[in-house]
Amino acid sequence: MSTHIGARQGQIAPTVLLPGDPLRARHIADTMLKDVSCFNEVRGMLGYTGFYGDKRVSIMGSGMGIPSLSIYVNELVTEYYAKTLIRIGTCGAIQPYLSVGDIILAMASSTDSHINKLRFAGMDYAPTASFHLLLKAYEAAQARGAAVYVGGILSSDTFYEDDPEWWKKWATYGVLACEMETAGLYTLAAKFGVDALSILTVSDSLVTGESATSEQRERDFPLMAEIALKISP
């Protein structure tokens, strides 16, 4: 057991998929993996290990935001020896050409969080994806005929902003979409020398106000999980 994860040593595979929502972890484990066992129920942050073909993989909720994800990533890597971490989550598009259901592979993540300002004594750090995972995910998404975009995203500390136009500055600088975790994931992966990638589906557009229906979410989430499982080492 670690402080926030109830697994025994060896129960967690070296590759861990990280949806924000633990119930999505359970759903993906139930529907896409074989020989599944649950390794964590602490705080309801469900985690499962199973097989995708002959690959042993784990999937666990990360919770929302950089602080929650960072707690789990720290413990997964330092106490359970995870080597590859793949976030699968949703994002809000901030470019006009992006639509609900599009897939975004986060090449780099800017952030309004102070977490790296604290870490680097006020200086900037550029959290980036593992290139070989990014390349494989791009190829897998294209092979699947998915609408896939690669670029920078924003990991924000706030979901409900005071200023409805807050995202426009980031959009001007080419950022594709916003979510709340990736900058934390990429920073910790770099610190610990492990691989990381965020595969995101556009669930809403801040440009048009469009939002995914529950049918769209049910269709889009398994596609992201499939890409993540296909590229898992």
Contact residues: ligand HPA, CB under 6 A: 90-92, 156, 159, 178-180, 203-204, 206
Residues in the chain: 233
Give the nearest residue (CB) to ligand HPA.
92
Q: 91 vs 107, which CB is nearer to ligand HPA?
A: 91
**DSSP assigned state of 75:** H
Closest CB 64 distance from ligand HPA, rounded Å: 8
Which of 30, 163, 204, 220 is the catalytic position?
204
Residue with tokens 């969080």: 113
Residue 98 CA: distances (Å) to CA of 20, 116, 160, 175, 183: 22, 29, 21, 12, 21
Closest CB 121 distance from ligand HPA, rounded Å: 27
Query: Is residue 163 annotated as a catalytic residue, yes or no?
Result: no
CB contact at 8 A, 16 and 60: yes
Phi, psi of 100 (to 5 degrees): -55, 130
CA distance 214 to 173: 31
Q: 95 vs 203, which CB is nearer to ligand HPA?
A: 203
Closest CB 30 distance from ligand HPA, rounded Å: 24
Q: 31 vs 211, which CB is nearer to ligand HPA?
A: 211
Q: Catalytic positions, please? A: 204
